[in-house]
Amino acid sequence: MASSVALLDAAFSLLAAGGVVVFFLALLLILSTRVSTQSSRFDSRALRDPPLVRGLLIGLSLTFFTVFLLLPLFTVFAEAFRRGFAVYWAAISEADALSSIKLTLIAAAISLPLNLVFGVAAAWCIAKFEFRGKQFLTTLIDLPFSVSPVIAGLVFVLVFGAHQGWLGSWLQAHDLKIVFAVPGIVLATVFVTFPFIARELIPLMQSQGKEEEEAAIVLGANGWQAFWHVTLPNIKWGLLYGVILCNARAMGEFGAVSVVSGHIRGQTNTIPLHVEILYNEYNFTASFAVASLLAFLALVTLVIKTWVEWKAGQSRNLADSNAPADSDDPSCTVRVIPDAITKKGTLP
Amino acid sequence: MSMATSVRHHSVLPGFRLALGYTLLYLSLIVLIPLSAVFIKSASLNATEFWNIVTAPRVVASYKISFGLSLVAAAINAVFGLMLAWTLVRYRFPGKKLVDALVDLPFALPTAVAGIALTAIYAGNGWVGKYLEALGFKVAYTPKGILVALIFIGLPFVVRTVQPILEELDTELEEAAACLGAHRWQTFRLVILPVLLPALLTGFALAFARAVGEYGSVIFIAGNLPSVSEITPLMIITKLEQYDYAGATAIAAVMLVFSFVMLLVINLLQAWTAKRTGRNR
């Protein structure tokens, strides 16, 4: 009896995991086939590789892809559902899990708007104006990408920590706690997600130039009107792309948050930290169940990203077909979405 | 800042001072001032103390593990990333666009989740681990496990830097090479690779820089044995847990200097890529 139940559960876990992964893959497939590419350009005979080479390269690539990318994704769900749906549900609806979800949402809800405002401000001055040190400023904005997450957490301990931090004794005197408490987690999250939106917007706005905004100003619009009615519609897809990437990182950050969190269950644990605690307690099924929430988030992020690429490609094609073939008239009403967001390669 | 504003060209667009001022303020508060704490705190150590901390045998062993394995992982990613980018751009096969969309998975999947998933796969009772251990390869809880995690997180960097260059590659050169009697391999080596090289090196450098600082995906699979499978970021954590803030900060300073150098190298490589391909990125 017991063994048949175990067998049933094992079958269920594989089915459920397969179901979840297949659902998302199907969604991705439907969206991704709509993203236009120009592979027919490479059909010329001179560019064709020998069939054996082609087969070998496709085979090797797909094997590498399956082992290194697909298998880990599938494993998360298979392990999460291993002991059936009831155990899964118990793990993610338990009080500590819920409080970690709440804290993760709070950290993301604070860091996203902050970095959004910064991203737009930085892109506005870098893309629309010329000034000395612009390249250097752009490099500085990228800095958090190249700093280890552990150091990102450490710096806030050095500034706000109770015994060794610059502001430590002042904070203690006023009974304020930043490190090993929620504000520290928020700060570390803001740091690691700092460049995401700016990084998306700067090349996008640079490639769009500033003629349209200048025209709006000359016609009597004020700065905000020019931004809301001219710039924002042009950058909306890039902005959305930056926001979802920023969100994925904000909710999934582990190293930086781990350093500044006090690891107090139910109080200063985010979802990734809760996953770690459960895992270190050998509570693997619960750990993977909570981790599956983050894997869901990753899949949703990829689906939205593919959707954004499709939409951006669509507006670009529309612009191409509307543009008069023999002129590059800048007054063309439909905005050409530049390559920056329809092509990949601007990621961190 | 006043110098920056004084040399800008005249523009009818408003908001420059406000946008630049806010950018500099926010950048300083969130990034620059906190990062400077690492160097200021390190400066409170004298040179001998600093040197003794950052060259302690266990710390040096962690550099060898972190930098060595990151180099190997970046090299493996350069080979397979180039292959994957080539396959995605040049060939047609079912599910190609799905593969293309999923290449970004390591960017989207939190590192801790990747870490426990890879450990489950490569542990002795895991789906891949049990076959590898039967063959005598122990992956999880050894340096090989660290390598697997670093390959996972670095792959998209190479694919996503090489792919756009491959897509925009001028096919006429290849056709000319074919007309002149070159084999495909000769064409690839002598015509295509030189154009791709800067982008490939950029992807390699990005994957390498990311791997050296990586923490979340590695610690679950590494086993974390001192001097065997202990990475440098974990050394910082270990020192912090022992309340050795000076020690943690000194090691962090070494890693930060490395990050700055890599940032410079990556910038130079990107400028080279732009020059070589005529792209303005």
Instruction: Look at residue A168 in the predicted model and tell me its pLDDT.
Output: 84
Per residue in B71-119, pLDDT (tens digit) is 999 999 999 999 999 999 988 888 888 899 899 999 999 999 999 999 9
B224 has a pLDDT exceeding 90: no
* Nearest C-alpha neighbor of A140 from the set A169, A160, A118, A162: A118
Q: What class has domain B54-277?
A: mainly alpha
Place of tokens 């122990």: B138
Distance CA A158, CA A277 (A): 25
- The total of other beta-carbon atoms located within 10 Å of residue B243's CB is 10
Q: Which residue among A62, A67, A125 places its CB closest to the CB of B19?
A: A125
Whole-Å CA distances, A20 to A25, A113, A181, A292 = 9, 31, 35, 10
Taking CB atoms and an 8 Å limit, are B116 and A156 in contact across chains?
Answer: no
Q: What's the rounded mean pLDDT across residues B188-211?
A: 92
HSE, side-chain direction, 13 A CA sphere, residue B154: 36
Contact list in A for residue B216 (CB cut-off 8 A) is 149, 254-255, 258, 272
Instruction: Look at residue A333 in the predicted model and tell me its pLDDT.
Output: 41
Distance CA B161, CA B104 (A): 12
Q: What's the rounded mean pLDDT across residues B137-151?
A: 93
Instruction: Find residues 211-240 of chain B whose CB sits inside 8 Å of chain A.
Output: 212-216, 220, 233-234, 236-237, 240
Confidence of residue B253 (pLDDT cuts 50, 70, 90): very high
Distance CA A282, CA A199 (A): 39
Instruction: Look at residue A24 in the predicted model and tell me its pLDDT.
Output: 83
Instruction: Find residues 40-99 of chain B whose CB sits inside 8 Å of chain A.
Output: 41, 80, 83-84, 86-93, 95, 97-99
Per residue in B254-273, pLDDT (tens digit) is 999 999 999 899 989 988 88
Whole-Å CA distances, A256 to A152, A196, B136 = 5, 16, 36
φ and ψ of B127, to 5 deg: -60, -40
pTM score, two decimals?
A: 0.88
Take residue B199 and report the two structure tokens written for it.
Answer: 């982008």
B225 has a pLDDT exceeding 70: yes
Per residue in A2-23, pLDDT (tens digit) is 566 666 766 777 787 788 888 8
- When mean pLDDT is compared across A275-279, A342-346, B32-36, B220-224, the lowest value belongs to A342-346
* A259 touches A157 (CB < 8 A): yes
Q: What's the rounded mean pLDDT across residues B134-139?
A: 89
**Which amino acid, A157?**
V
Q: Å from B62 to nearest chain A CA?
A: 15
Instruction: Look at residue B1 in the predicted model and tell me its pLDDT.
Output: 41
% of chain B with per-residue pLDDT over 90: 64
Chain B CB within 8 Å of residue A151 CB: yes
Q: What's the rounded mean pLDDT across residues B130-141?
A: 90
* B193 touches B78 (CB < 8 A): no
Q: Mean pLDDT per segment of 10 residues, for chain A of length 348 residues?
A: 64 78 82 69 75 91 92 93 89 93 95 96 93 91 92 94 83 87 94 95 90 90 90 92 94 94 84 95 94 94 90 76 51 43 43
Q: How far is CA A142 from the centre of its chain?
A: 16
Closest chain B residue by Cα to residue A36: B97
- Orientation of helix B245-277 relative to helix B193-213, angle to 10°: 170
* Nearest C-alpha neighbor of A17 from the set A93, A79, A91, A70: A79
Confidence of residue B176 (pLDDT cuts 50, 70, 90): confident
B109, B141, B280, best to mutate vs chain A, most A CBs in 10 Å: B109
* A249 touches A272 (CB < 8 A): no
Q: Å from A182 to nearest chain B CA?
A: 16
